[in-house]
Amino acid sequence: MPIVLMRLVTRITGRSWRVPALVLLAAFLTGWLLIAVFEEPGAEIKRPDEYIWYFLVSGTTTGYGDLSPATTGGRIGGVLIIVAGLTAGLVMFAELTLWMGKGRAMRANGQAQLHKRRHIVMVGYHRDGLRTIIGQLRADVEFAKTDVVAIFWPDELTGENPDPDLYDVVAFDGTAYERACLEAARAVVVIGHNDDETVRVMLGVEAYLRKKGDPPVHLLAGVHEGNRRAEITEALALIGSDIEPVDIDDSAVVAAAIRNPGIAAIYHNLASTLDTDGALYRVDIPDDAGAWSRMDVAIFLLRRGGTLLAVGDSHRPDAGFRLTASPDEMIRGGQSLAVVAADRPEIPWHEL
């Protein structure tokens, strides 16, 4: 029995805040008992709500004086409350202050457990790129208030998070995915030091999510080397059919891929096409060639195996190419076209 009792006491007092908490509880109960026994019947201080108020103002030594015991026994209870407040209460306050400071430090250093939902998780940390991507995301009303969490490798961030108002950080370890709430994320972007590391990390991400029941998380894998797109895409497909590769050189493309699941595949397929059996050509329209609807030109090129990608406003090097078409847009002489095709397209403008 003594051993069991000692273990119980050790377990209760194992944390530094538990002893002062027990002292305050004992003072609360003892003071209430003494006041209830010795104070005159009907005394206001004996009412539970009034006693709690008296305990708070006396234990914090505020001492409003609106309530006070009138008997010796009641005053002894009041002394116990004041002494407990001056000792155990101050210790509790100090422990609370340390706990709050420790929590802030753990969060700043990536050691805290976060509580996020529908957020963006970036696995891999590069401050400038991350800030740019977040800036692109914030420009979209739907993502203006979306939280971002960056999981960083040991060599990527030393010290505290330099941008706590923009994103939270989580240090990579065995609990990183859980602390970053990966299964509750809206999208997860994996950016390794190189493409091989990205594939390995994505394998771990997919395994973690599978254990969590395969939640609907949009997965993006950052690709560094354009000449290995096909190889990396094949490797990612073996891990999961829904993983989208995205070129990380352009932060606007990454942000667009995060906002629009499936868009990354279009960018990636276009880049892969240009790397293999196609190329992007600029075609200048002669000044005296005439005018046609953008739809007619696009159809003409499609029938010859080409794709009209964008229309520029002039022959200048900075022609201001536009991907999107305006209603009833006309293409005229003096403009330029961006066309994807196997060979440079030869367009008979005067016969079109």
DSSP character for 87? I
Of 131, 125, 124, 167, the closest CA to residue 146 belongs to 167
Length of the chain: 352
277 versus 252: which is more confidently predicted?
252
229 versus 107: which is more confidently predicted?
107
User: Where do the CATH 3.40.50.720 domains begin and end in the chain?
Assistant: 120-275
Count CA atoms closer than 13 A to 244's CA, side-chain side: 26
10 Å Cβ neighbour count for 253? 19
Alpha helices in the chain (DSSP H): 2-12, 18-38, 48-59, 72-84, 90-108, 127-138, 176-179, 195-211, 229-239, 251-259, 263-275, 294-302
Q: Does 266 have pLDDT greater than 80?
A: no
Q: Does 104 have pLDDT greater than 90?
A: no
Which are the contacts of 74, defined by CB distance < 8 A and separation ≥ 6? Answer: 34, 35, 38, 39, 45
Class of domain 120-275: alpha beta
User: Where do the CATH 3.30.70.1450 domains begin and end in the chain?
Assistant: 279-351
Of 54, 209, 60, 51, the closest CA to residue 123 belongs to 209
Q: Does 4 have pLDDT greater than 50?
A: no
Of 129, 128, 174, 122, the closest CA to residue 152 belongs to 122
272 versus 258: which is more confidently predicted?
258
Give Rg (Cα) of the chain: 34
- At 108, which amino acid appears? A
User: Where do the CATH 1.10.287.70 domains begin and end in the chain?
Assistant: 2-107
Enumerate long-range contacts of 209-218, CB under 8 Å, 24 or more apart. 209/182, 209/183, 212/182, 212/183, 213/183, 215/183, 215/184, 217/182, 217/183, 217/185, 217/186, 217/187, 217/188, 218/186, 218/187, 218/188, 218/242, 218/244, 218/258, 218/261
Class of domain 2-107: mainly alpha
- What 3-state class would DSSP assign to 315? coil
Q: Does 314 have pLDDT greater than 60?
A: yes
Fold adopted by 279-351: Alpha-Beta Plaits (3.30.70)
328 versus 319: which is more confidently predicted?
328
Q: What is the pLDDT of residues 113-157, one digit of tens each?
A: 999 999 999 999 999 999 999 999 998 899 999 999 999 998 898
- pLDDT computed for residue 57 by the predictor: 87
Q: In whole angstroms, what separates CA 245 from the centre of its chain?
A: 20
- pLDDT computed for residue 9 by the predictor: 43
- Tell me if 119 sits within 8 A of 186, measured CB to CB: yes
Q: What is the pLDDT of residues 275-307, one digit of tens each?
A: 555 677 888 999 988 899 999 999 999 988 888
- What 3-state class would DSSP assign to 170? strand
> Which stretch of 159-168, 203-212, 309-318 has the lowest confidence by average pLDDT?
309-318
- pLDDT computed for residue 42 by the predictor: 83
Q: Does 12 have pLDDT greater than 80?
A: no
Burial class of residue 300 (count of CB atoms within 10 Å of its CB; 0-12, 13-18, 19+): middle
- The residues that bridge with 152 in the sheet, in sequence order, are 171
> Parallel, antiparallel, or unpaired for β 148-152 and 218-223?
unpaired
Q: What is the pLDDT of residues 47-99, one digit of tens each?
A: 888 889 988 888 887 878 788 888 888 888 888 888 887 887 777 777 777 66
- pLDDT computed for residue 123 by the predictor: 96
